Amino acid sequence: MTGKNVKTWINEISADGVTVQQSQNAYIKWADKYDEDLEKHAFTGPGKVAQIVRDQILNQPVGDVRILDVAAGTGLVARELKKFGFRHIDALEPSEAMLKEAKKAHLYINYFVEFISESQTTIAESSYDVVTGSGLFANEAHVPCEALYEMIRVVKPGGLIVLCGRNHLLNDSETYKRLEPLMDKLESDKKWKKVLREIWPGYLKGIDGVAWCYQVL
């Protein structure tokens, strides 16, 4: 038992000024209690992402859909996707400690132990039908806005990118104030097209979530 509550952990991974190294160190300590803690906090981000993927995948049998879950953590998004019958799910996640939990439950097929940023990952272009990400935007020690370019690169034309996070970060975080303007720019540059944007209450207890679904062009 760590004895810390979710708010304390969220501060350790994502308060202003927390570095990538400090954030990653906190995930090492939190990994084996992460799922239990977030269940107590009724975390709905992974379920929201899975539901949107399920609703938007119309022309392909779910069993054939190839999905890359970015910032996969312990695998909560894969758990939810599997409830709908999705099977081909890979993880991209830098924390071995978080992935250890996902591996115990055999949640993913391939594991890419790396950070996503504006630079290219080891993943080949147009490899996936869908990229998912829940809780990937948390402060500058998490996924940078410019990683959207890399997500688009690894998705096939016509494929989907489905992401979600805490809504207040769009106003409160200097980093993520730039997120939606960049999403809009990518749309006017014809890199992708918005399918939906949704705000919902109870992403975590007392915290609204925001989710997006884009189709890659």
Ligand X SMILES: C[S@@+](CC[C@H](N)C(=O)[O-])C[C@H]1O[C@@H](n2cnc3c(N)ncnc32)[C@H](O)[C@@H]1O
Interface contacts to ligand X, rule CB under 6 A: 27, 45-46, 70-73, 76-77, 92-95, 98, 115-117, 134-136, 138, 142-143
Q: In sequence order, what are the beta bridge partners of 66?
A: 88
CA distances from 188 to 175, 182, 183, 191, 217 (A): 21, 10, 9, 8, 11
Nearest 5°: phi and psi at 38?
-75, -30
**Identity of the residue, 100 or 193, whose beta carbon is nearer to ligand X in the bound complex:** 100
**Identity of the residue, 77 or 216, whose beta carbon is nearer to ligand X in the bound complex:** 77
**Identity of the residue, 36 or 64, whose beta carbon is nearer to ligand X in the bound complex:** 36
Which tokens in the block code for residue 60?
């392909």
Q: Which residue is nearest to ligand X (CB)?
A: 73
Other beta carbons within 10 Å of 216: 23
- Kind of pairing, strands 155-166 and 207-216? antiparallel
**Identity of the residue, 95 or 173, whose beta carbon is nearer to ligand X in the bound complex:** 95
**Identity of the residue, 105 or 217, whose beta carbon is nearer to ligand X in the bound complex:** 105
Other beta carbons within 10 Å of 129: 21
Which tokens in the block code for residue 204?
């975590």
Q: At closest approach, how far in Å is the CB of 214 from ligand X?
A: 18
Q: At closest approach, how far in Å is the CB of 211 from ligand X?
A: 12
**Identity of the residue, 45 or 159, whose beta carbon is nearer to ligand X in the bound complex:** 45
Q: At closest approach, how far in Å is the CB of 47 from ligand X?
A: 10
Q: At closest approach, how far in Å is the CB of 46 from ligand X?
A: 5
Q: At closest approach, how far in Å is the CB of 208 from ligand X?
A: 16
Q: Are 198 and 167 in contact (CB under 8 A)?
A: no
Q: At closest approach, how far in Å is the CB of 6 from ligand X?
A: 10
Which residue type, as a one-letter code, is found at position 162? V
Q: For residue 45, count CB atoms less than 10 angstroms from its CB and return exposed for 0-12, middle for 13-18, buried for 19 or more.
A: buried
